[in-house]
C-alpha cells in the first residue's frame, strides 16, 4: 500500500464507505457508524482523529457499526499503520462482548481481519463486509448443528446418484456385499474409507469452531468425489446456500462440471460453469470457475456480494492462490476449503527471531497451511501417495533412468563445454573461438540437439510399457521444455511410429497437446475418454485411444485424470518438488484393462527420466531450504518460483549442435512401498533436529524416557517452522497404524530397532496366546 504510514484512517474510512457504511445521514439512509454508543459522529470529530490516529490517546479507535435498530452489530478496532491489527484482539473482544456485538474487524489500514465471535478465529479479509452480507450470509448465521449431526456412510454420494437407493431390495437386505455389487453394477460411487474420513474431519473441524479446512490428498485419490460429498453436506444441512469451486485451469472446468453433475444432479444440486452462465449463475448451487475469470479489473467486487458464496473451495490450492488471487479468495465470507497434493510451506526454514517481520507477514499470506487455518503445518486431513500405494488404490512407478552422453555432461557440475566460433567485427575473415558452457537448463532454450531428441524418442519406443490387451505402446504423456520442443518430439515420434508400425497410424500416434494448439482442451478430454483421433485399430471394439502419446508442456500436469496411463516421460529437467509430485502423479492411478472375458490390472507405470530428475530429488535437493517468496507477490516477476531450485549459468546465444549422441546410462528400478525421498523426507528432518539438539542428546544419553517425552512435547513438537507432531511423523514413516509418543521415545533411546507395521504388531500380540 502506498504511503501507508500516513493514511491508515483515510484508507479504513474509504473501505467502510465502499462497503456501504455511512458516517453521516444521507439520502441512502441514516448514519450507521458511531465512535461510541448513542453518540453521532461529526466531521470535526472524525478529522480530529488524525490521518493515522496519531491524535488518539493509544493510537487506535473503535468504530461501532450498527444494525437497522441502531444496536451495535460490529466493532471495528482501527489502529495506526505501525501496529499489527491482531495486537488489539482481546481488547476488541471484551468491548464487543460488553456491547453484545456479534462481529469484529481488526485493521491497521493495510491488513484487515474479520472475526465472527461465535465461530473460529480472526480471518484475513481484503475488503470490508457490507451490512447486507452480514445479514444474509448463511455461513455466518446458520446453525452448524445439522452439519455436525449428519450421519455419513460410504453410500453418501451413491444415494444422491440414485435417490431411491434406500428403497431397493439390495439396501433393505442389510447385506453390504450385495449392496456394493448393486452399486458397482449401476456405476454408483461408493466412497473409500479415507474419503469418508476426510468428510468426517470437516464435520469435526466445524464442531471445533473452525471455518477453514485443508485436505492434503495425493493425486488420484478422488479429491473431486470427496469435494462433492462436502458440498452436499454443507448444502443439505443449510449451512451454505451456494458453493464456489475454483479450478486451476480452464480445461478443468468441464471435468469438474461433469463429475459434479454425475454425483449430485439427481439429488437436485445444480452445477454450472460461470463463464457459460453469467446471467443466471445465481440459480445454481455450485458455480465452477477459474480464479482468473474473476480477476480482470477486479470485476468480482461489482458482480458479486461477499455473501453470495457460503463455501469457497480451491482445487490445487497451492497453485491457484498466489498473492494476486488471494484477494479474490478472501473477498467471499464464510467457509474456505483447500484441496492439494502439494501444499506450499512458506514458513519452512524461517528464523522467526531474526527475519524481517514484513517478510514473515508476506510468507504468512502465501503459506498454504496458514491460508486454510492449519498453522501447525498439519492439514485437516491427509492421505499420501504412500498411503494410497499401501492400500492398493495407487501404484508406484518403475523409474527408467536413461542418460545420454550429452545429457550426462549437461547435468554435470562442469556442464557441457563447447568451443564455438564467433564473429567479433562482422567480417568473414575475423573469426574467433570461445568456450561456452551449457547446462541442463540450457536444453531446448540455448542448446539444441536433434540427435538427443531422436535418442529420447527411440529409447521411449523401444522400452515403453505395452497395453496388456492390444500390445501396442501404452497410453503415455511426455513433458517437454516448451511448445517448440513439444512440436519437435511429436514429429519425431510420428516418423518413428510409421517405420515401426506401418499402416497403423496416420501421423496420429503422437499428438501435440499445448496451449497454442486449437482444440487442445478437448484433446485432453478425448485422450482420457479413449477416443483421441478415434479408437485403436489394433483390436476391434477395444476401448482405447488410437493416439497413444500426448506430448505436452504444462497443460496436463495438474488435475488431469487419465487412469490408464502406462508411461510418463520427463524430457526436461524439473527443479520444483511441487511440479515433480504433480507430474509423477499423472501415472499413479490404478486401472483395469478389460476386453471380452480378460481383465488385467495395472501394477506400475514407467517413468522415463532423461534428466536425472528422480536422482536430483532423491540425493541433491535441499528439502530444508527456505522457499523464496515469488517476486510477483511483491509486484514483480519471479525468477525463482520453485524454492530450492538450482540456477546454473546460461550461454548468451542459441547453439544448434551437430554432435552425435548415444545412451551411456540405462537403469530400471521399481519404487518400493517406502516410496521416494520426496514422499518420506519429513521424518529424516525430525531425526536431524533431535540429533542437533544438545539437551535432547543429553537426555537420550541418560536414558531418561519420561524426561525425553516431556522435552519433545515442550521443546520440539509444534514449534515453527516444521511443527513436528506424532501424526505428521506417522505419515512420513509410512506406517499403516497409529504411532504413540512412548514408542517414538523408545526408538530414540535405542530400545527398539525400528517401527513395526500393523501385521507385525498383530503377530506380536497373537504369538503369546499360543506359547
| Tens-place pLDDT, residues 374-405 | 766 678 898 888 888 888 899 999 999 999 99
DSSP 53: S
In sequence order, which residues have a C-beta less than 8 Å from that of residue 454 and are 6 or more positions away?
Answer: 492
Residue bearing the bigger pLDDT, 255 or 196: 196
Lowest mean pLDDT among 187-201, 375-389, 574-588, 727-741: 727-741
Lowest mean pLDDT among 154-168, 281-295, 604-618, 748-762: 748-762
Q: Is the pLDDT score of 645 beyond 50?
A: no
Q: Which of 436, 457, 456, 434 is nearest to 446 (CA)?
A: 436
Fold of 397-426+442-670: Rossmann fold (3.40.50)
Kindly tell me the burial class for residue 143, based on how many C-beta atoms sit within 10 Å of its own C-beta (0-12, 13-18, 19 or more): exposed
pLDDT value for 636: 36
Say what percent of the chain tops pLDDT 90.
39
Q: What is the CATH number of domain 145-152+192-390?
A: 3.40.50.300
Return the SS3 of 360. Answer: helix
Q: Is the pLDDT score of 685 beyond 70?
A: no
Greatest mean pLDDT among 127-131, 236-240, 578-582: 236-240
Tell me the average pLDDT across 137-157: 93
Positive or negative, the CA dihedral 22, 25, 29, 32 is positive
pLDDT value for 166: 94
Strand partners, 593: 600
Q: Is the pLDDT score of 647 beyond 80?
A: no
Residue bearing the bigger pLDDT, 204 or 628: 204
Say what percent of the chain tops pLDDT 70.
79
Tell me the average pLDDT across 173-190: 94
Strand partners, 76: 63, 105
Q: Is the pLDDT score of 501 beyond 90?
A: yes
Distances (CA, A) of 474 to 176, 242, 443, 461, 565: 36, 42, 27, 10, 7
Band of residue 497 on the pLDDT scale cut at 50, 70, 90: very high
Grid coordinates standing for 406? 550429452
pLDDT value for 759: 65
Tell me the average pLDDT across 662-676: 78
Q: Are 651 and 442 in contact (CB under 8 A)?
A: yes
On average, the pLDDT of the chain sits at: 82
Counting other chains too, the contacts that 87-93 makes at CB distance below 8 Å and 24 or more residues apart are 88/60, 89/115, 89/122, 92/62, 93/117
Q: Do the domains spanning 4-136 and 145-152+192-390 agree at the CATH topology level?
A: no
Lowest mean pLDDT among 106-110, 364-368, 452-456: 364-368
Q: Which of 221, 228, 158, 165 is nearest to 193 (CA)?
A: 221
Q: Which of 601, 624, 769 is nearest to 689 (CA)?
A: 624
Query: Which backbone phi and psi does 155 adopt, to 5 degrees?
Result: -95, 15
Q: Are 209 and 119 in contact (CB under 8 A)?
A: yes
Render 341-356 in DSSP notation, one character per residue.
SS---TTTT--TTTS-
Q: What is the CATH number of domain 4-136?
A: 3.90.1570.30
pLDDT value for 358: 52
Note the helical H segments in 446-561. Answer: 450-463, 483-500, 520-528
Lowest mean pLDDT among 26-35, 72-81, 479-488, 730-739: 730-739
Tell me the average pLDDT across 202-223: 91
pLDDT value for 323: 53
Query: Which backbone phi and psi does 437 adopt, to 5 degrees?
Result: -100, 130
pLDDT value for 343: 57
pLDDT value for 581: 82
pLDDT value for 598: 93
- The domain spans of the chain are 4-136, 145-152+192-390, 155-190, 397-426+442-670, 677-770
Tell me the average pLDDT across 486-498: 96
Tell me the average pLDDT across 571-594: 88
Q: Any idea how long the chain is?
A: 771
CB atoms < 10 A from the CB of 122, how many? Answer: 19
Band of residue 644 on the pLDDT scale cut at 50, 70, 90: very low
Residue where the block lists cell 498383530:
762
Residue bearing the bigger pLDDT, 206 or 732: 206
pTM of the model: 0.72
pLDDT value for 649: 39
pLDDT digits (tens, 9 = 90+) for 523-568: 998 999 999 999 998 998 899 999 999 999 988 877 678 899 999 9
pLDDT value for 3: 43
Q: Which of 437, 458, 415 is nearest to 571 (CA)?
A: 458
DSSP 540: T
pLDDT value for 102: 92
Q: Is the pLDDT score of 768 beyond 50?
A: no
Tell me the average pLDDT across 6-27: 85
In sequence order, which residues have a C-beta less than 8 Å from that of residue 334 and are 6 or more positions away?
Answer: 137, 138, 139, 140, 211, 240, 307, 309, 310, 311, 312
pLDDT digits (tens, 9 = 90+) for 333-367: 889 999 887 655 544 554 544 445 555 445 544 56
Amino acid at each position: 500500500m502506498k504511503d501507508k504510514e500516513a493514511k491508515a484512517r483515510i484508507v479504513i474510512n474509504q473501505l467502510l464507505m465502499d462497503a456501504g457504511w455511512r458516517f453521516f445521514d444521507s439520502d441512502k439512509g441514516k448514519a450507521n457508524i458511531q465512535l461510541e454508543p448513542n453518540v453521532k459522529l461529526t466531521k470535526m470529530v472524525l478529522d480530529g482523529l488524525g490521518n493515522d490516529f496519531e491524535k488518539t490517546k493509544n493510537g487506535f479507535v473503535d468504530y461501532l457499526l450498527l444494525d437497522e435498530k441502531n444496536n451495535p452489530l460490529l466493532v471495528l478496532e482501527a489502529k495506526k499503520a505501525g501496529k499489527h491489527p491482531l495486537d488489539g484482539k482481546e481488547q476488541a473482544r471484551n468491548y464487543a462482548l460488553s456491547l453484545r456485538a456479534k462481529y469484529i474487524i481488526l485493521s491497521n489500514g493495510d491488513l484487515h481481519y474479520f472475526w465472527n465471535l461465535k465461530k473460529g478465529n480472526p480471518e484475513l479479509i481484503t475488503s470490508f463486509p457490507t451490512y447486507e452480507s452480514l445479514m444474509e450470509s448463511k455461513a455466518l448465521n446458520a446453525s452448524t448443528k445439522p452439519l455436525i449431526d449428519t450421519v455419513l456412510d460410504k453410500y453418501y454420494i451413491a444415494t444422491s446418484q440414485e435417490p431411491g437407493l434406500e428403497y431397493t431390495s439390495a439396501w433393505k437386505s442389510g447385506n453390504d456385499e450385495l449392496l456394493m455389487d448393486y452399486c458397482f453394477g449401476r456405476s454408483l460411487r461408493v466412497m473409500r474409507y479415507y474419503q469418508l474420513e476426510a468428510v468426517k474431519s470437516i464435520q469435526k473441524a466445524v464442531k471445533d469452531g473452525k471455518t477453514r479446512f485443508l485436505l492434503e490428498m495425493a493425486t488420484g485419490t478422488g479429491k473431486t468425489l470427496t469435494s462433492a460429498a462436502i458440498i452436499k453436506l454443507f448444502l443439505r444441512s443449510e449451512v451454505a446456500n451456494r458453493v464456489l469451486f475454483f479450478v486451476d485451469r480452464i480445461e478443468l472446468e468441464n471435468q469438474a462440471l461433469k463429475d459434479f453433475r454425475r454425483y449430485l444432479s439427481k439429488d437436485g444440486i445444480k452445477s454450472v460453469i460461470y463463464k457459460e452462465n453469467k446471467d443466471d449463475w445465481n440459480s445454481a448451487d455450485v458455480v465452477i470457475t477459474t480464479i482468473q475469470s474473476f480477476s480482470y479489473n477486479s470485476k468480482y467486487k461489482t458482480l458479486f456480494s461477499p455473501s453470495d458464496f457460503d463455501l469457497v473451495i480451491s482445487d490445487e490450492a497451492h497453485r491457484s492462490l498466489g498473492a494476486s488471487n488471494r484477494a479474490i479468495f478472501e473477498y467471499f465470507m464464510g467457509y474456505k476449503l483447500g484441496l492439494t497434493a502439494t501444499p506450499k510451506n512458506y514458513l519452512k526454514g524461517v528464523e522467526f527471531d531474526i527475519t524481517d517481520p514484513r517478510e514473515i507477514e508476506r510468507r504468512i499470506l502465501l503459506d498454504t497451511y496458514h491460508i486454510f487455518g492449519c498453522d501447525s503445518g498439519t492439514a485437516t486431513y491427509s492421505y499420501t501417495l504412500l498411503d494410497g500405494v499401501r492400500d492398493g488404490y495407487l501404484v508406484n512407478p518403475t523409474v527408467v533412468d536413461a542418460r545420454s552422453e550429452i545429457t550426462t555432461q549437461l547435468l554435470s557440475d562442469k556442464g557441457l563445454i563447447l568451443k564455438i566460433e564467433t564473429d567479433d567485427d562482422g567480417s568473414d575473415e575475423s573469426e574467433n573461438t570461445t568456450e561456452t558452457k551449457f547446462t541442463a537448463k540450457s536444453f531446448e532454450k540455448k542448446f539444441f540437439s536433434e540427435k538427443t531428441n531422436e535418442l529420447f524418442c527411440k529409447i521411449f519406443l523401444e522400452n515403453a510399457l505395452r497395453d496388456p490387451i492390444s500390445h501396442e505402446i501404452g497410453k503415455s504423456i511426455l513433458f517437454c521444455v516448451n511448445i517448440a520442443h513439444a512440436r519437435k518430439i511429436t514429429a519425431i515420434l510420428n516418423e518413428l511410429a510409421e517405420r515401426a508400425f506401418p499402416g497403423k497410424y496416420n501421423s496420429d500416434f503422437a499428438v501435440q497437446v499445448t496451449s497454442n494448439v486449437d482444440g487442445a482442451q478437448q484433446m485432453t478430454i478425448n485422450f482420457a475418454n479413449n477416443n483421441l483421433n478415434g479408437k485403436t485399430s489394433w483390436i476391434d471394439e477395444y476401448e482405447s485411444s488410437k493416439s497413444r502419446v500426448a506430448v505436452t508442456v504444462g497443460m496436463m500436469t495438474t488435475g488431469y485424470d487419465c487412469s490408464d496411463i502406462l508411461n510418463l516421460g520427463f524430457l526436461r529437467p524439473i527443479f520444483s518438488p511441487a511440479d515433480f509430485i504433480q507430474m509423477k502423479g499423472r501415472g499413479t492411478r490404478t486401472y483395469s484393462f478389460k476386453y471380452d472375458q480378460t481383465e488385467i490390472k495395472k501394477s506400475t507405470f514407467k517413468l522415463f527420466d532423461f534428466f536425472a530428475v528422480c536422482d536430483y530429488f532423491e540425493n541433491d535437493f535441499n528439502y530444508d531450504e527456505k522457499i523464496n517468496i515469488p517476486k510477483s507477490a511483491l509486484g514483480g516477476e519471479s525468477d525463482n518460483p520453485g524454492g530450492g531450485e538450482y540456477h546454473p549459468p546460461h550461454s548468451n546465444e542459441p547453439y544448434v549442435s551437430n554432435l552425435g549422441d548415444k545412451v551411456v546410462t540405462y537403469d530400471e528400478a521399481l519404487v518400493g512401498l517406502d516410496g521416494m525421498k520426496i514422499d518420506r523426507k519429513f521424518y529424516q528432518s525430525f531425526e536431524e533436529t533431535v540429533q542437533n539438539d544438545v539437551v535432547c542428546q543429553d537426555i537420550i544419553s541418560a536414558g531418561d524416557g519420561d524426561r525425553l517425552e516431556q522435552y519433545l512435547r515442550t521443546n520440539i513438537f509444534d514449534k515453527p517452522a516444521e511443527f513436528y507432531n506424532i501424526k505428521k511423523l506417522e505419515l512420513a514413516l509410512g506406517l499403516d497404524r497409529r504411532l504413540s509418543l512412548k514408542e517414538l521415545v523408545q526408538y530414540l533411546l535405542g530400545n527398539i530397532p525400528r517401527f513395526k507395521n500393523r501385521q507385525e504388531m498383530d503377530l506380536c500380540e497373537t504369538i503369546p496366546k499360543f506359547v
